[in-house]
Structure 1
Amino acid sequence: MTGATIHIVASPESWIEQAAVDQLHQTARLEGIDRIVGLPDLHAGRGIAVGAAFWSPSHVYPHLVGSDIGCGMGLWRCAMPLRKLRLDAAERKLRGLEEPWSGDQVARLADAGLSRDLAGEALGTIGGGNHFAELLRVETLHGDTEVDPAALYLMVHSGSRGLGHAILERHLAQHNVAGLIAGEEACARYLAAHDDAMAWAVLNRELIAKRFLDRLGTTGERLLDICHNSVTPHRGGWLHRKGAAPADKGLVVIPGSRGDMTYLVRPRQERADEALHSLAHGAGRKWSRSEAKDKLVRRFSIADLERTKLGSRVICEDRDLIYEEAQQAYKDIHQVVRDLEQAGLIDLIATLRPLLTYKTRRA
């Protein structure tokens, strides 16, 4: 029997798949897990539900963080105003971004307090899966805000690439999915590697943004950077977030699927503990990758998916990925955000509209 409590933040209007709920109950059986929260974007993952937070007073579980340690979102306000953006020109300029960053990796790693051994071809690149970079503009302001409606914004979603994967694989080879007892040497080693991957992921997003802004001939000011996959000290124990945004690090962006709105929100603290100081990190998948491709390939051409219902553009030259990451494969971001708002967890700051989403080019 387990003493873990499970709380799901979702209204009756939201669809939560039973497989994800079952995965939460499986995780609740792990030794030392005391509290679990599922957010409105909750969906089944590879053995672990995504869109959830797990708290233990005594154990650290690396597989609850997953392989993409530090995966998250950064948001930049571009120096170039929105009125000067020319989408045709921007689309032409955004090339060569899969190639290794040509800057001084060792110096940037040192500035971030990281070893030169962590340099590599992946640093400064987006990667695959649901990672992307996106140009946006303000669609709606909600009340008093410092957000500039005349500005162009850049959002970057990426993580620690192969570094986080290697850290998890090393742990699994030694311990399988067993937890690490806080204070013991094995736990300290994992946490040190985890923290390096977190810092690497933040640097990676910064370099991706720099590359995009350089291509567009502008600069930008970073407004926020938040991690979705992490384990951090919390209330005398350890808080694991798997696809969950922190509600204790300032402003948060909650993006919709490609071709839908993104919400900029301010976490509220009055009821934050009910949700383990965590928020939804996006819309959450409705279909698996294989389901998405099977359902959409006969209904939409690639050209159809390169333009969205909002009129935004999508650059994705991977035939499978453009179907797997199509907007239709995701839940309704507006309902996800309504659930968070109704639960008293957020205040809305602004709604951002996508203009151009970049995932990958083949050359």
Structure 2
Amino acid sequence: MNNHITGADLLQIGYTEGKILGVALAVAQQFAAQEKTTALAMLQKVKDYPENFLDDEIMEPLAKAIIEDANDPKHQMISLNQNPERYTIYGEAHIEQGARKQMDIAMKLPVTAAGALMPDAHQGYGLPIGGVLATRNAIIPYGVGVDIGCRMALTIFDIPETHFYANEAKYKRELIAMTNFGAGNGFRGQYRADHEILERDEFNITPFVKQLHDKAYTQLGSSGGGNHFVEWGIIDFAERDELLNIDAGRYLALLSHSGSRGFGATVAGHYTKLAKEICQLPDEAKNLAYFDINSAEGQEYWLAMNLAGDYASACHDIIHQKLVKAMGGVVLAKIENHHNFAWKEIWNGEEVIVHRKGATPAGKGVMGIIPGSMTAPGFLVRGKGEAGAINSASHGAGRQMSRTAATKNITKAQMKETLKEAGVTLIGAGLDEAPMAYKDINMVMASQTALVDVVAKFTPKMVRMADDGSRED
């Protein structure tokens, strides 16, 4: 008869992975001579009633470890507030119930100070996409999101729109040559780009972050899958903008959307798992697990998050530099804004951490870019600093159809016809990114007139996306 007790046996009776399991396995070795079911029954009793075994010669180490672990503040269940903070919803009539339910739960966290839901909101993991959450001394990895520091970057050229139409073949050729898309894709050998971001000290904050340096180097200057894109378009200024020093007119513009690639995704996964181990929340809120910003783990994540955000910016910088060099022309302005991030800001007189997951900063005078879909216009905007929105605005049109639903309900013929009607050339992309899968950007903008002023309108003309519609970085 095999009386050997394994880790799988202990997991079966309610033990969990970690230090306690190791102690239990060590104690179990002393029961090799006993019948296995009897020994397991005894170990289960210790797990359920450890205080009864503190004087037991064999079981005392295990009982003591279980009690100490249960009393560790890091592992105590955290209660949600029964009277949550209220929050403002913009474009309420067009927001799905799932997103509202997730925001309702986020407002019950004991660290929550304020919240808001943007008009492009839809259900995500933890905090909904389009959710803004201000917390006190707490940072939530899933409140930031998986694609840390994902952003929009816009370069406006002094080139008139007529030049684009007269040279579309060249614009297409250079767009394909200078970009690299898709899950796991990057550059090798002599094709790898260099950038000062690779020299940052933060890559050495932990062995975990340090071992991601080569991945970051390989994918530097590339774009992810899913809704990430690089596109040529025409930007229309109805009147002169004094702050940008751009006259009324229609200009060539380059717009890109991507994030921190595999580096950021790996950082997000690692620290989300760690937060869930440290911060024990009820099941409905478990994806909102947080770190105390002053803890070692909180500081590690904060540094890694900021590094990932700057890395995402470096990727855009390289893409735009390549295409500016390839096409020539004078750059009139470059504007960049990001989402899936957390900022330290002053709110009602106190410092808070503002998480914007699929939402962008829109403080008074802050510039931003809010895109539509591959056939719908995007908008260059300037924030109004609306308090109810926690100085935020939407990050795009927002999905009205899940990726799975889009793939099932939209045909290639429908997508092709929509592109033709809009006069858009598409390179890559899957049906999950079809224009019909997104909300009406004009409705979204109409719902946030209190949040931003429109400076100019961007119309996509040539869009490059991942060939396979992939979305994992």
Structure with greater helix percent: 2
User: Which is further off, 137-146 or 2-11?
Assistant: 137-146
After superposition, the C-alpha distances for 1:224-279 in whole angstroms (9 at most, x for unaligned) are 1111110110121110000001113721111111101111111113xx11101100
RMSD: 2.5
Equivalent residue for 2:425, pick from 291, 308, 313? 313
CA–CA distance in structure 1, aligned partners of residues 457 and 201 of structure 2: 35
- Answering whether residue 359 of structure 2 is matched by residue 244 of structure 1, we say yes
Equivalent residue for 1:263, pick from 374, 379, 393? 379
- Answering whether residue 448 of structure 2 is matched by residue 328 of structure 1, we say no
Question: In 2, are the aligned partners of 1:147 and 1:350 still within 8 Å (CA)?
Answer: no
Match of 2:257 in 1: 157
CA–CA distance in structure 2, aligned partners of residues 89 and 338 of structure 1: 37
> TM-score with structure 1 length normalisation?
0.88
Task: Say if 1:106 and 1:135 are closer, same or farther in 2 by CA, change over 3 A.
Answer: closer
CA–CA distance in structure 1, aligned partners of residues 102 and 231 of structure 2: 32
Match of 1:30 in 2: 109
CA–CA distance in structure 2, aligned partners of residues 95 and 347 of structure 1: 34
- Answering whether residue 178 of structure 2 is matched by residue 64 of structure 1, we say no
Match of 1:284 in 2: 398
- How much does 1:56 deviate? 0.7
- How much does 1:82 deviate? 2.7
Equivalent residue for 1:205, pick from 312, 316, 330? 316
- Answering whether residue 148 of structure 2 is matched by residue 40 of structure 1, we say no
- How much does 1:348 deviate? 1.6
Query: SS at the partner of 1:95?
Result: helix
Letter in 1 for 2:187: P
Match of 2:7 in 1: none
Match of 2:270 in 1: 170
Query: SS at the partner of 2:108?
Result: coil
Query: SS at the partner of 1:127?
Result: coil
CA–CA distance in structure 2, aligned partners of residues 113 and 313 of structure 1: 42
Query: SS at the partner of 1:245?
Result: strand
- Answering whether residue 300 of structure 2 is matched by residue 189 of structure 1, we say yes
Letter in 2 for 1:61: I
Query: SS at the partner of 2:342?
Result: strand
Query: SS at the partner of 2:414?
Result: coil
CA–CA distance in structure 2, aligned partners of residues 322 and 147 of structure 1: 36
CA–CA distance in structure 2, aligned partners of residues 129 and 136 of structure 1: 20
CA–CA distance in structure 1, aligned partners of residues 265 and 147 of structure 2: 6
Letter in 2 for 1:166: T
Equivalent residue for 1:133, pick from 214, 225, 230? 230
Question: In 1, are the aligned partners of 2:89 and 2:118 still within 8 Å (CA)?
Answer: yes
Question: In 1, are the aligned partners of 2:153 and 2:257 still within 8 Å (CA)?
Answer: yes
Task: Say if 1:184 and 1:203 are closer, same or farther in 2 by CA, change over 3 A.
Answer: same
Report the identity percentage: 27
Match of 2:63 in 1: none
Question: In 2, are the aligned partners of 1:140 and 1:352 still within 8 Å (CA)?
Answer: no
After superposition, the C-alpha distances for 1:284-342 in whole angstroms (9 at most, x for unaligned) are 000000101111027526x446x3432121111xxxx421111100001011111111x
Match of 1:94 in 2: 175
User: Which is further off, 142-151 or 234-243?
Assistant: 142-151
Match of 1:359 in 2: 465
Letter in 2 for 1:334: N
After superposition, the C-alpha distances for 1:152-176 in whole angstroms (9 at most, x for unaligned) are 1111101101111111111123222
Query: SS at the partner of 1:225?
Result: strand
User: Which is further off, 57-66 or 142-151?
Assistant: 142-151
Structure 1: state its 5+ residue gaps.
none
Equivalent residue for 1:5, pick from 86, 92, 98? 86
User: Which is further off, 100-109 or 52-61?
Assistant: 100-109
CA–CA distance in structure 1, aligned partners of residues 158 and 200 of structure 2: 24
Task: Say if 1:2 and 1:259 are closer, same or farther in 2 by CA, change over 3 A.
Answer: same
Query: SS at the partner of 2:399?
Result: coil
CA–CA distance in structure 1, aligned partners of residues 344 and 333 of structure 2: 25
Question: In 2, are the aligned partners of 1:126 and 1:208 still within 8 Å (CA)?
Answer: no
Query: SS at the partner of 1:283?
Result: coil
CA–CA distance in structure 2, aligned partners of residues 262 and 112 of structure 1: 34
Task: Say if 1:107 and 1:35 are closer, same or farther in 2 by CA, change over 3 A.
Answer: closer
CA–CA distance in structure 2, aligned partners of residues 213 and 287 of structure 1: 35
Letter in 1 for 2:197: L
CA–CA distance in structure 1, aligned partners of residues 439 and 131 of structure 2: 16
- Larger RCO of the pair (alpha carbons < 8 Å, separation 6+): 1
Structure 2: state its 5+ residue gaps.
1-81, 181-185, 204-209, 277-286, 469-473
Question: In 1, are the aligned partners of 2:139 and 2:293 still within 8 Å (CA)?
Answer: yes
Query: SS at the partner of 2:197?
Result: helix
CA–CA distance in structure 1, aligned partners of residues 362 and 143 of structure 2: 19
Question: In 2, are the aligned partners of 1:72 and 1:157 still within 8 Å (CA)?
Answer: yes
CA–CA distance in structure 1, aligned partners of residues 412 and 158 of structure 2: 42
Letter in 2 for 1:167: V
CA–CA distance in structure 2, aligned partners of residues 17 and 198 of structure 1: 29
Task: Say if 1:133 and 1:31 are closer, same or farther in 2 by CA, change over 3 A.
Answer: same
Letter in 1 for 2:254: L
